[in-house]
Structure 1
Amino acid sequence: MPSRKKTSMFAAAFLTCVCSFVIICVVLATPYWVSSKVHFSGTNSNVTVSLTYGLFSGTCEQLVDAGLLVPTKIFQVAANLGNTKAKSTITAIIVIVVLSLLFSLLSSGFTCTNAVSNPYQTFLGPIGVYTWNSLCAIFILIAMILFPVNIEGNGLSIELSHGCFSALQKHVKSEHAYGYSYWIMLLIIFLNIASIIVIYFYDHARYSKKKEQERPIENAPKDVILF
């Protein structure tokens, strides 16, 4: 059976991993990654399209300068994109976040295993926890970088606007505000770092204690050496 200290340390790491897993599920499920206002100029009037969307779905509405407001429409992100670079990138982001979810699940399993048992010093031990938490944090960071690149560089919001309203003409400018579904990914990164730190402190303390017990006999006090 593991010591009480080991159980408590790995239980704390397990809790952070579970929280990370839950938050990734929220990130995937909620359509509040970004809110965009895309402005278009027409022959007789200017049009503003307001979009709020995530990785899979979103809503859009059209406002004409004359005061005409088109009712809000719900759209599917993939369906509104053609075979463009924006669609390829959003697909890559989905794959990356899903892989992060898998890494978080594996990390939860590894920390739980270490909390209730003493696996051999193999990949099932702290090394595995370090690996899965690091991969999860790195992949989430990549997703956080790719999403704004897709919006700013590949014109994701513009593509989605044309998918919602086909009669739009010349694009003038766009304004973007990233929502909580995007920013809570920072919390996922921090939780994974916290898991790594907790396990590192335990592993370092265990290693130091082991080295202390393996001190050569000549370093021991002479008055306790028996011949």
Structure 2
Amino acid sequence: MPSTSKTLYYTSCALLTSISVGLMGYAMSREWVRLSMDCSREEINLFNGSATITLELFNGNLNRVFCPTFGEITQFSVIPKLAEMGVTALVLYALVVMLLALCLLFSAGTILISLYNSVSNPYETYFGPVGVYTCSSISTCLSIVVLIIYVVNVNLTTMAEDLVQDFSGPVDLRNKTAEMLLGYYLVIPYTVLSLCAMAIIYMYNNAAYRHRREQQRPTEDSPKEIMMF
């Protein structure tokens, strides 16, 4: 049976990772970005209209004012709509969704390995602390990649403009602005909690190593004459 300290450390790691999974699940259900643009019909070149796209991870809505009509709100599914329009935005967006799913998968691995270590003493394999380090580090790295790719997709591609023109027809668009929302920012505490989970196991391993060294020290410091008998 593992010691009480080991059980506490690994249970804490599993608890932190469970909280991070809850945050990620909540993030995936919230709005991620709001994109706003000035809009004008091509024939009049007067930018007195606007278009605002609000995206969750899987659903979105487009609010148009004089773009080209007086006002209209349209609901749509993000991935099917991107699949109709082009390749680049779709690939990047699908990659974000896939990486988020992998984050949840590896976080689940961290939880299972941590709980297993809290009730048993596995060898130094992937069922031990190495497994926690591996799963948590992969989750952390993937979540950072998600943050980067999502910002690149909404700011440096024409995804927003293509969405507006797909619904509105031929219009001129300019002055695009992007406001990141709660869903996006919740990925950051997920990343931090994944790092904290690794730090907890590192602290336990470091403390256990020091304890083993202290137990060996009396033998190492004994006079050679005594050790010969």
Query: TM (normalized to structure 1)?
Result: 0.90
C-alpha contact 1:40 1:173 (8 A) present in aligned 2: no
SS of structure 1 residue aligned to 2:217: coil
Query: Deviations for 1:148-173, whole angstroms, at most 9, x for unmatched residues?
Result: 1011111222222223x232412212
After TM superposition, the structure 1 stretch with the greater mean CA deviation from structure 2, 153-162 or 32-41, is 153-162
SS of structure 2 residue aligned to 1:37: strand
Please give the alpha-carbon distance, in whole angstroms, between the structure 2 residues aligned to 1:80 and 1:66: 20
Note the aligned Cα RMSD (angstroms): 2.3
C-alpha contact 1:80 1:159 (8 A) present in aligned 2: no
- Counterparts in 2 of 1:33 and 1:202: CA distance versus 1, 3 Å: same
Q: Which residue of 1 aligns with 2:51?
A: 49
Amino acid at match of 2:197: S
2:119 to 112, 116, 121: 116
Q: Which residue of 1 aligns with 2:191?
A: 189
SS of structure 1 residue aligned to 2:139: helix
Q: Percent identity?
A: 26
Q: Which residue of 1 aligns with 2:71?
A: 69
C-alpha contact 2:39 2:66 (8 A) present in aligned 1: no
Would you identify which runs of 4 or more consecutive aligned residues in structure 1 move more than 4 Å?
Answer: 224-227
Query: Deviations for 1:47-88, whole angstroms, at most 9, x for unmatched residues?
Result: 211111022111111012899222x22111122222320111
Q: Does 1:12 align with 2:12?
A: yes
C-alpha contact 2:39 2:173 (8 A) present in aligned 1: yes
Q: Offset at 1:214?
A: 2.6
Point out where structure 2 has 5 or more consecutive residues left out of the alignment.
Answer: none
Query: Deviations for 1:91-141, whole angstroms, at most 9, x for unmatched residues?
Result: 111111111110111111111111121111211111110110010010000
Q: How many residues align?
A: 224
C-alpha contact 1:77 1:160 (8 A) present in aligned 2: no
Point out where structure 1 has 5 or more consecutive residues left out of the alignment.
Answer: none
Q: Which residue of 2 aligns with 1:151?
A: 154
Q: Which residue of 1 aligns with 2:214?
A: 212
C-alpha contact 2:106 2:139 (8 A) present in aligned 1: yes
Please give the alpha-carbon distance, in whole angstroms, between the structure 2 residues aligned to 1:55 and 1:160: 15
Q: Offset at 1:226?
A: 10
